[in-house]
């Protein structure tokens, strides 16, 4: 029994692995369903209807490097489709990237359902957009209508989104969406932004910050219109939600050298990000605010420390 004056301990299951079994598989452009680009798909195997999340990866980061994060989300009852926005081994830029990002959304209409386990249904009435780093900007761009899509969106989540690597125009690929004006992004969907405290810091003298001031999560949140939620993990860096193992020399450089990393286990960051995504979507899509409100009331229940926690409705 808690003593008088003690804070009540609140627990929530969103930070744990969910109870729903799932599987994942890759699909390339030669498949009979003809996806516009290579896809990594995560799906529950328990019969039910599930919301579909389209996840856009960061700059030159294979979708497979997010397996531990995305599988946690799927285990709570979502289907995740993660396109690889590479072309001939190189990352896409600007209009090409947005074009393919939108084509993946339209592919869902006829391409996804036949690939799912028996009696697993993809709910396509309103799709969720989720993206990390440059993929966060891609998700915002698709939601803003830079890619013409036939499906509607129900929510938008940016994980440490980045507009460009610096204020230098040479580092920016179109479209330019950040304006510097608060609440200027006409999104018309609930928005959550999950930022990192170490993203604006350099890892070393050789590379610029991965999420520089003026182009990072702060601006994306400030320029979004309500309803919008904000969470910052101050002790973690821009790549700390990736898998513990990112194979190859490039994977090692990407995860350990390019961006400043936190000193805590990446597992805690993945648990926190996945939990925030699940809690936000339960609240916005299903009207179930239990977990979301618990986090807002007591951010300390998250595995990783959270700062700047706020939810603005108007």
What does the pLDDT read at residue 92? 61
Tokens 């960051």, residue?
269
Q: Which of 75, 132, 154, 160 is catalytic?
A: 160
Q: Which of 76, 141, 238, 240 is catalytic?
A: 238
What does the pLDDT read at residue 286? 96
Distances (CA, A) of 221 to 12, 94, 136, 270: 25, 22, 12, 21
What does the pLDDT read at residue 168? 47
**HSE (side-chain half, CA atoms, 13 Å) at 264:** 18
3-state secondary structure of 115: helix
What does the pLDDT read at residue 269? 98
Compute how many other C-beta atoms are within 10 angstroms of the C-beta atom of residue 55. 25
Write a three-state SS string for 51-105: EEEEEECCCCCCHHHHHHHHHHHHCCCEEEEEECCEECCEECCHHHHHHHHHHHH
- 22-312 classified as CATH 3.40.50.11540: no
Spell out the domain ranges in the chain. Answer: 22-312
What does the pLDDT read at residue 89? 55
d(CA 250, CA 255) in angstroms, rounded, equals 8
Supply the angle between the helices 266-286 and 290-297 in degrees, to the nearest 10. Answer: 130
What does the pLDDT read at residue 180? 94
d(CA 159, CA 142) in angstroms, rounded, equals 15
Instruction: Tell me whether residue 133 is one of the annotated catalytic residues.
Output: yes
Supply the angle between the helices 134-143 and 94-111 in degrees, to the nearest 10. Answer: 70
For 143, list phi and psi in degrees, rounded to 5: -65, -30
What does the pLDDT read at residue 207? 83
For 292, list phi and psi in degrees, rounded to 5: -60, -45
d(CA 69, CA 132) in angstroms, rounded, equals 11
Tokens 């019969």, residue?
47
Distances (CA, A) of 35 to 102, 146, 159, 249, 306: 12, 20, 25, 29, 38
Does this model's pTM top 0.75? My answer is yes
Q: Which of 133, 141, 154, 173 is catalytic?
A: 133
Provide the residue count of the chain. Answer: 314
E strands present in the chain: 22-27, 39-44, 48-56, 78-83, 86-87, 90-91, 120-132, 152-159, 191-196, 228-233, 307-312
Which residues is 229 bridged to in the sheet?
192, 311
Cα Rg of the chain (Å, integer): 18
> Do 304 and 236 form a contact (C-beta atoms < 8 A)?
yes
Structure tokens at 153: 């969106």
What does the pLDDT read at residue 9? 44
Residue by residue, pLDDT tens for the chain (314 residues) are 333 333 344 557 999 999 999 999 999 999 999 999 999 999 999 999 999 999 999 988 999 999 999 999 999 999 999 999 876 555 665 668 899 999 999 999 999 999 999 999 999 999 999 999 999 999 999 999 999 899 999 999 999 999 976 554 444 577 899 999 999 999 999 999 999 999 999 988 888 899 999 999 999 999 999 999 999 999 999 999 999 999 877 777 777 778 999 999 999 999 999 999 999 999 999 999 999 999 999 999 999 999 999 999 99
Torsion sign over Cα 166, 167, 173, 179: positive
């Amino acid at each position: 029994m808690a003593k008088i004056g003690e804070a009540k301990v609140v627990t929530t299951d969103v930070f744990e692995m969910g109870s729903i079994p799932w599987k994942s598989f890759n699909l390339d452009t030669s498949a009979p369903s003809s996806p516009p680009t290579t896809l990594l798909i995560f799906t529950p195997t328990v019969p039910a209807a599930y919301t579909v999340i389209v996840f856009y990866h960061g700059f030159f980061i294979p979708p497979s490097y997010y397996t531990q994060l995305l599988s946690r989300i799927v285990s709570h009852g979502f289907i995740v489709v993660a396109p690889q926005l590479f072309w001939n081994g190189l990352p896409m830029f600007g209009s090409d990237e947005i074009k393919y990002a939108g084509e993946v959304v339209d592919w869902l209409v006829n391409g996804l359902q036949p690939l799912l386990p028996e009696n697993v249904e993809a709910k396509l009435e309103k799709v969720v957009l989720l993206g990390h780093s440059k993929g966060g900007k891609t998700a915002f761009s698709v939601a803003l209508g830079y890619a013409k899509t036939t499906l509607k969106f129900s929510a938008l989540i940016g994980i440490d989104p980045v507009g460009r690597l610096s204020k230098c125009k040479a580092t920016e690929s179109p479209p330019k969406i950040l304006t510097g004006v608060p609440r200027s992004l006409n999104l018309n969907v609930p928005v959550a932004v999950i930022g990192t405290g170490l993203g604006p810091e350099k890892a070393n003298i050789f590379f610029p910050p991965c999420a520089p001031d003026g182009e990072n999560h702060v601006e994306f949140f400030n320029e979004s219109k309500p309803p919008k939620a904000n969470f910052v993990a101050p002790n973690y860096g821009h790549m700390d939600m990736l898998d513990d193992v990112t194979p190859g020399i490039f994977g090692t450089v990407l995860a350990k050298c390019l961006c400043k990393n936190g000193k805590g286990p990446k597992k805690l960051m993945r648990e926190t990000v996945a939990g925030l995504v699940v809690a936000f979507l339960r609240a916005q899509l299903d009207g179930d605010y239990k977990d979301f409100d618990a986090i807002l009331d007591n951010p300390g229940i998250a595995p990783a420390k959270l700062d700047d926690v706020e939810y603005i409705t108007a």
